[in-house]
A and B are shown apart, each in its own frame.
Chain A
Amino acid sequence: MIAPHYGIDVFCIPLSDWLPYGNALTSCLSPTDFSDSKQSVSDQRKFVRALLRMIVGVYTHQEPEEVCLEKDASGKLTVAASPIMPLQVTVSHTDDRALIAVSGYARIGVDIERVVSRRNMGEVAKRVFSDAQNELLTSYHPAKRRRQFYTFWCRKEANAKVFGSGFMSMLQKETTDSKTHYFEIVQPPGYVACVASDHAIHKVDMYAIKPLNNDVRMMYDIERIECEGSHAYEKN
């Protein structure tokens, strides 16, 4: 089914589909999950980690809790000791939506954001976006400006995840790293999403993963979906 040797597979997940199965989901977690976290971990993060384990397990033919997830030196989550092939993974979630991306060939980062009005967006834009991006933002009607703000932000955050460069790189104004390639993933209205990679993105396949009954570890459905309008960004 899925063999992302030269492409990226992106799983688009409405989390509300999985909330009724929270207990079964958390049984997919490993004791090592969040063991380094100094703060409380939200249920949403636990569910997304469990789904990540389930999805990676499909590639590696392992039980979810057997999947070996580690953080590399830069803090980026990786699949260690994959028995099938090297795998890169990245996750993002907001409100009811989660994206999990998997690749066998490149470092990847994904981000999804809900487009909402926030205080101080202008100040944030001036701080983190380039002058050209700010000029573009100010030329737009407020509703379009808001969406574009999040589009730029998604690219920035996805890029930071590719290189494990964290928040530090988010604060640098140069958004478009020459080594980074971006692909916009069309999401339901009110959301924007982007996947980034350190290699040219030849192919992005999108899937939905849905629970079929209470035995979510065994009984779920993965279905290829079309996200019409999804496209690679022009380099700039």
Chain B
Amino acid sequence: MRNVRLVLWGAVALALAGLAWLMLRPAPGPMPTVQSSGAIAIGGPFTLTGADGRPFASSRLNGRPAAIFFGFTHCPDVCPTTLARLTKLRRSLGKGDDALAIVFITVDPERDGPKEVGAYSALFDTPVIGLTGSPDQIARVKQQFGVYSEKTPMPAGDYGVAHTATVFLMDRNGQFQSTIAAEENDAAALAKLKRLTA
């Protein structure tokens, strides 16, 4: 009987010690701050490298809206399909090539230099701005846009890249306005582009 009491008191002591630890432990770090403006912070100024090998500052896009897509040049399906779609939508807008900048940013800077992004962008027979950068620069711009990418192994030592396939629509001042999702139909996408370029 006495043993049972001892065990019970022991349990009480342990519980008290646990409670004390919970109350006295160091406070966790500051809570993540919530944007008070209500707007989601997507985008922001960046400097990358253009197809000509020279620095390309995002301020060069100021003055006209932009559709920004992240991909990689070894991507045979989603990336060219998305870029082809954007060029067709821009044509449907009927406001000329200057009404909307189409920007392709590689998430595979290890394989895609200025030459590669340049040749890839030139495929579409209409202006597409191809951008690359150092792995650090690309990591930073991906973070600014909340873009995910991860290399996925393929046979023969090759790799693909799983990546965010959303198109980001930025207004004339470089402010984020909306997105076009991969599954979104052309009519909805065109309506967004009309709003963007109004």
Q: Do A and B bind each other?
A: no
Which residues of A line the B interface, CB within 8 A?
none
